[in-house]
């Protein structure tokens, strides 16, 4: 579970770094290659889905914790998953708003 949390938390930041690094030409033209653009598109598509899956997993985990322990569980990871999902959607909308067709 820790690996999933680390990967999902890193995906939006990697997407932002790739977007800003390509826009400011800090990654040496990597964004102008086919591989760089493909990685950008894959991250753009995968990040919202991964954070949504993480949100579902953490919500189910919280509900099971409350159900079987007959008490209240910690809302920390569920709230973090909500924040990451909103962050991923905001980043995706920002990237879509900067495209020029």
Chain mean position to CA 100: 24
Look at residue 8 in the predicted model and tell me its pLDDT: 92
What predicted TM-score, i.e. pTM, was given to this entire model?
0.84
Q: What does the mean pLDDT of the chain come to?
A: 86
**pLDDT confidence tier of residue 71, bands split at 50, 70 and 90:** low
Provide the H-helix boundaries in 1-101. Answer: 2-23, 34-69, 76-98
Lowest mean pLDDT among 18-27, 41-50, 81-90: 18-27
How many residues in the chain? Answer: 101
- Residue 71 is given by DSSP the state S
What token pair was written down for 16?
């932002």
- Residue 33 is given by DSSP the state S
- The mean pLDDT of 58-80, rounded to a whole number, is 83
Judge whether residue 73 has pLDDT over 70.
no
Look at residue 27 in the predicted model and tell me its pLDDT: 75
């Amino acid at each position: 579970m820790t690996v999933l949390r680390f990967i999902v938390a890193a995906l939006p930041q990697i997407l932002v770094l790739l977007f800003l690094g390509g826009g400011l030409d800090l990654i040496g033209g990597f964004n102008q290659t086919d591989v760089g653009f493909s990685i950008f598109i894959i991250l753009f598509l995968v990040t919202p889905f991964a954070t949504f899956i993480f949100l579902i997993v953490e919500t189910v985990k919280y509900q099971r914790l409350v159900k079987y322990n007959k008490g209240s569980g910690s809302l920390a990871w569920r709230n973090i998953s909500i924040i990451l999902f909103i962050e991923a959607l905001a980043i995706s909308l920002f990237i879509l708003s900067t495209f020029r067709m």
